[in-house]
């Protein structure tokens, strides 16, 4: 095939007269341009490394300091207090560049100025790091800012006023502190009190006291030592033991999904939508490589850690028998595409030039129009990534370690990301509630073999132009992929645009070589393994019940009139709904971020508290006045907000206990307390989906440009997974998952309880609602 010949720079044949080389001028041109592009990226990285290293200084400020020192010397003012003369005396004598007194004086002043400049940068950065350790602002009531916090905010703005790059603040972020064992155990016992009767609680108290007095001091010393040495005492262990060492399927159990805009539609043309979206994604990657993306800032002044963004693209999870590894490449110039059981390699560049949206549309249309059938074993190949990790690792070693299978698999694993072209159409129809759930199911697991679950993310395209993402969880948490998705959807809607017929703007280049089919040689034994993985994945997917809905009566606008945080409002409503659904309370997980610390990821907020259960029980009794119920609700909301803030500021419970447990395993120390804590099931796992991390448009002018968030599978077999997005002022999206195999759970039933709980709490405050 023509494209195959263009993929190599030269060919050779052995003849009786020697070796005959045949060079491909076009291929060599591409190799040359790729090399130039690679060197450009290296130079950009070096430049950014220098600018990042001297922040908040700059080359200009360095020159200013030198000029000030030289100028003061001409005015016979020695600002160095004799240091310049000392430096001058230390310079080597003799002929050469130092032979004239003027040259030696200028060089001495340049050395002194550089020292002053570097010292100033060090001082400013250490001061900024010290200021970022202050978290008192988080615990102050809204609208009641203390003078100390005002002064702190002014200092932060002063030290970070220059335009920062993406990773500018990384070395200035404080390390995640190790909490005191006594504080962690006290908060743990407080969190389980509403879940245990007196006898069970007394037993747990004894276990905790024994652990605190005998085992914990030794474990804590090792953990403190690690916190001094490592950038973050949790994150590397969390990634390895929670994600990479997991041997169960990634699909449903670990990966999560993200939905498209659901109330507006830019085009119905599948290939055109992909052209704009993928062009926007590579534009984002270019900004990421050049560090041109602004770091996310809390309150607009407190920087969040950005390290998770490094592995967004060009990343694949490689299966292993005992543990997986994350393979991250510095660059990738193609995407891997799946359509109708065939795999393709689609180049994103022509030489050093990124393909324009209309060119990408043409390439995807070529794939959609390709009539070739799948090769034997190719159609369900991706089911290997949906099944057990050990089986996939063994199959990879046995059948994909050489020949054309290895080359084809490398084309997928070394791709920037994976693209799945589906033949079905899904979208949200407000008149058909089930449409959102069907859309979510398609994103969560598809048909179990049309997603490559190992890639950092799979871009899923439906026949009607609707999109979505399925993201692997080990490399980063949901806010990171959400940042990319907001940029991409905003760029697609407000910057790239479409023609009246729904195609990308501009004329494509028909001379581009078409995408390349990946070639496989999959033996019968491998096909049997693929089918086995598919059956495992299908049983898992068929067992998932997903219920997604849009809650229309109100959003955060009216919740704020209740004088509480929207997140606390929803979490307490979930407690009320769960009690109505199951008749009991359960251990509840809410994900909170710790990105105010270097390399921070998440912490757990234990949302089921004594205060929230007291409110729920009072609601169930039905004999309390609204005033009493409001008072109980406010106490529960205040408690929840305080716990959330503690988790964000490094004073959580579960990550500390998790790390103590790992240290005990490394040391071979047995702890009944830690063993019991780490084995407790999370029957209600919840997460709020972030939004508006970047402001590409005014939501008041474009109120319908709303994504519906995303969701994940249930953590416990007899539990619920609940994801929610408080989408603007007037609506909330919920994604609820459970398992059909559990007789105790029903996602739709629980969703109805959530609706009622939200409305019942709003009624306590006599908030006017927009429902009939």
Residue 625 parent element (H or E): none
Domain harbouring 532, CATH code? 3.30.559.70
* Residue 660: per-residue pLDDT: 97
Look at residue 377 and tell me if it is in a domain: yes
Chain-centroid distance, C-alpha 391 = 27
Per-chain mean pLDDT for the chain = 90
Which structure tokens are listed for 59? Answer: 């080359």
Look at residue 445 and tell me if it is in a domain: yes
* Residue 121: per-residue pLDDT: 83
Which structure tokens are listed for 107? Answer: 């060089």
Is a pLDDT exceeding 60 seen at residue 11?
A: no
Last residue within a domain, chosen from 80, 112, 133? 133
Nearest to 654 by CA among 287, 320, 179: 179
Please tell me the distance from the alpha carbon of residue 237 to that of residue 769, in angstroms, as a whole number. Answer: 46
Per-residue confidence band for 226, with pLDDT thresholds at 50, 70 and 90 = very high
Residue 571 contacts by C-beta under 8 Å, 6 or more apart in sequence? 588, 590, 607, 612, 640, 686
Domain harbouring 674, CATH code? 1.10.275.20
Domain harbouring 753, CATH code? 3.30.559.10
Do 637 and 494 share a structural domain? no
Do 435 and 408 share a structural domain? yes
* Residue 768: per-residue pLDDT: 52
Please tell me the distance from the alpha carbon of residue 154 to that of residue 150, in angstroms, as a whole number. Answer: 6
Number of structural domains, the chain?
A: 5
Look at residue 148 and tell me if it is in a domain: no
Per-residue confidence band for 8, with pLDDT thresholds at 50, 70 and 90 = very low
Look at residue 158 and tell me if it is in a domain: no
Q: What is the mean pLDDT of residues 391-405?
A: 95
Do 571 and 440 share a structural domain? no
Last residue within a domain, chosen from 74, 104, 133? 133
Beta strand 349-350 pairing with 467-471: unpaired
Per-residue confidence band for 99, with pLDDT thresholds at 50, 70 and 90 = low
Is a pLDDT exceeding 80 seen at residue 42?
A: no
Do 43 and 63 share a structural domain? no
Cis omega (within 30 of 0) for bond into 545: no
Is a pLDDT exceeding 90 seen at residue 77?
A: no
Give the residue with greater pLDDT, 246 vs 58: 246
Do 617 and 497 share a structural domain? no
Point out the residues that are catalytic.
Answer: 473
Measured N-to-C along each axis, helices 270-289 and 357-369 cross at an angle, to the nearest 10 degrees, of 130
Do 122 and 63 share a structural domain? yes
* Residue 6: per-residue pLDDT: 37
Do 305 and 189 share a structural domain? no
Do 755 and 614 share a structural domain? yes
Look at residue 237 and tell me if it is in a domain: no
303, 169 in Cβ contact below 8 A?
Answer: yes
Buried b (16+ CB within 10 A) or exposed e, 224-234: eebbeebbbbb
Look at residue 157 and tell me if it is in a domain: no
Range of the structural domain that residue 192 is part of: 178-230+651-680
* Residue 772: per-residue pLDDT: 35
Do 666 and 532 share a structural domain? no
Chain-centroid distance, C-alpha 608 = 26
% of the chain at pLDDT higher than 90: 71
Do 222 and 307 share a structural domain? no
* Residue 25: per-residue pLDDT: 61
Last residue within a domain, chosen from 78, 111, 133? 133
Is a pLDDT exceeding 70 seen at residue 30?
A: no
Nearest to 448 by CA among 322, 543, 337, 576: 543
Is a pLDDT exceeding 70 seen at residue 20?
A: no
Per-residue confidence band for 274, with pLDDT thresholds at 50, 70 and 90 = very high
Q: Which long-range contacts (CB under 8 A, 24 or more apart) does 344-349 make?
A: 344/370, 344/515, 344/516, 344/517, 344/518, 345/411, 345/415, 345/515, 345/516, 345/518, 346/419, 346/515, 346/516, 347/513, 347/515, 348/278, 348/282, 348/416, 349/34, 349/37
Is a pLDDT exceeding 60 seen at residue 770?
A: no
Per-residue confidence band for 513, with pLDDT thresholds at 50, 70 and 90 = very high
Q: What is the mean pLDDT of residues 608-615?
A: 97
Look at residue 636 and tell me if it is in a domain: yes
Candidate ranges 12-26, 132-146, 467-481, 550-564; pick with highest mean pLDDT: 467-481
Per-residue confidence band for 58, with pLDDT thresholds at 50, 70 and 90 = confident
Give the residue with greater pLDDT, 541 vs 24: 541
* Residue 193: per-residue pLDDT: 95
| Coil, strand or helix at 297 | strand
Do 612 and 523 share a structural domain? no
Look at residue 6 and tell me if it is in a domain: no
Chain segment 409-448, per-residue pLDDT in tens = 999 999 999 999 999 999 999 899 899 999 999 999 999 9
Do 321 and 221 share a structural domain? no
């Amino acid at each position: 095939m023509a494209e195959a010949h263009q993929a190599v720079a030269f060919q050779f044949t052995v003849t009786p007269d020697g070796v005959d080389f045949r060079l491909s001028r076009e291929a060599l041109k591409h190799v040359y341009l790729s090399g130039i592009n690679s060197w450009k990226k290296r130079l950009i990285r070096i430049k950014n490394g220098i600018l990042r290293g001297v922040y908040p200084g700059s080359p200009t400020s360095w020159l200013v300091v030198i000029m000030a020192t030289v100028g003061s010397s001409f005015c016979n003012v020695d600002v160095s207090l004799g240091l310049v003369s000392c430096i001058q005396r230390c310079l080597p004598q003799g002929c050469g560049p130092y032979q004239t007194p003027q040259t030696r004086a200028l060089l001495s002043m340049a050395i002194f100025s550089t020292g002053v400049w570097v010292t100033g940068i060090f001082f400013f950065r250490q001061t900024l790091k010290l200021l970022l350790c202050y978290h008192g602002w988080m615990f102050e009531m809204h609208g009641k800012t203390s003078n100390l916090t005002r002064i702190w905010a002014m200092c932060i703005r002063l030290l970070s006023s220059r335009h920062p790059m993406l990773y500018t603040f990384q070395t200035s972020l404080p390390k995640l502190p190790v909490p005191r064992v006594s504080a962690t155990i006290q908060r743990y016992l407080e969190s389980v009190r509403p879940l245990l009767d007196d006898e069970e609680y007394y037993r747990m108290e004894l276990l905790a006291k024994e652990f605190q007095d005998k085992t914990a001091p030794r474990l804590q010393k090792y953990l403190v030592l690690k916190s001094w040495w490592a950038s973050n005492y949790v994150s590397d262990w969390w990634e390895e033991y929670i994600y990479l060492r997991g041997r169960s399927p990634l699909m449903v159990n670990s990966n999560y999904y993200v939905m498209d805009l659901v109330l507006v539609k830019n085009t119905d043309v599948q290939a055109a939508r992909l052209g704009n979206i993928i062009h926007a994604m590579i534009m984002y990657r270019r900004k990421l490589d050049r560090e041109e993306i602004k770091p996310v800032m809390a309150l607009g002044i407190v920087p969040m850690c950005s390290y998770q963004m490094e592995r967004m693209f060009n990343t694949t999870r490689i299966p292993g028998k005992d543990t997986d590894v994350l393979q991250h490449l510095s660059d990738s110039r193609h995407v891997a595409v799946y359509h109708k059981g065939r795999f393709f390699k689609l180049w994103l560049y022509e030489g050093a030039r990124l393909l324009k949206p209309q060119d990408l549309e043409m390439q995807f249309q070529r794939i959609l129009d390709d009539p070739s059938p799948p090769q034997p074993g190719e159609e369900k190949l991706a089911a290997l990534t949906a099944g057990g990790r050990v089986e996939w690792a063994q199959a990879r070693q046995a059948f994909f370690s050489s020949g054309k299978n290895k080359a084809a698999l490398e084309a997928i694993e070394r791709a920037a990301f994976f693209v799945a072209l589906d033949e079905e159409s899904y979208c949200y129809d407000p008149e058909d509630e089930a449409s959102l759930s069907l859309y979510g199911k398609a994103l969560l697991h598809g048909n179990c073999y049309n997603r490559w679950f190992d890639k950092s993310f799979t871009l899923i395209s439906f026949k009607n132009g609707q999109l979505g993402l399925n993201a692997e969880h080990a490399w980063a948490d949901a806010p990171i992929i959400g940042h990319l998705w907001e940029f991409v959807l905003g760029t697609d809607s407000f910057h790239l645009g479409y023609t009246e017929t729904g195609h990308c703007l501009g004329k494509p280049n028909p001379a581009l070589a078409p995408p390349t089919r990946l070639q496989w040689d999959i033996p019968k034994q491998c096909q049997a393994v693929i089918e086995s993985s598919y059956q495992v994945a299908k049983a898992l997917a068929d067992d998932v019940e997903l219920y997604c809905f849009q809650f229309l009566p109100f959003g955060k606008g009216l919740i704020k009139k209740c004088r509480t945080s929207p997140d606390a409002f929803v979490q307490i409503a979930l407690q009320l709904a769960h009690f109505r659904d199951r008749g009991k309370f359960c251990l509840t997980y809410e994900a909170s971020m710790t990105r105010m610390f270097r390399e921070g990821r998440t912490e757990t907020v234990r949302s089921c508290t004594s205060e929230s259960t007291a409110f729920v029980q009072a609601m169930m009794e039905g004999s309390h006045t609204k005033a009493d119920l409001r008072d109980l609700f406010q106490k529960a909301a205040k408690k929840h907000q305080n716990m959330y803030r503690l988790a964000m500021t490094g004073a959580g419970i579960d990550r500390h206990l998790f790390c103590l447990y790992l240290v005990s395993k490394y040391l071979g120390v047995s702890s009944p307390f830690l063993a019991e804590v780490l084995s407790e099931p999370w029957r209600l796992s919840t997460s709020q989906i972030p939004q508006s991390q970047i402001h590409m448009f005014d939501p008041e002018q474009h109120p319908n440009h709303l994504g519906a968030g995303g969701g994940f599978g249930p953590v416990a077999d007899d539990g619920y997974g609940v994801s929610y997005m408080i989408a603007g002022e007037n609506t909330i999206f919920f994604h609820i998952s459970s398992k059909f195999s559990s007789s105790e759970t029903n996602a739709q039933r629980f969703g109805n309880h959530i609706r009622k709980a939200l409305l019942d709490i709003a009624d306590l405050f006599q908030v006017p609602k927009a429902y009939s």
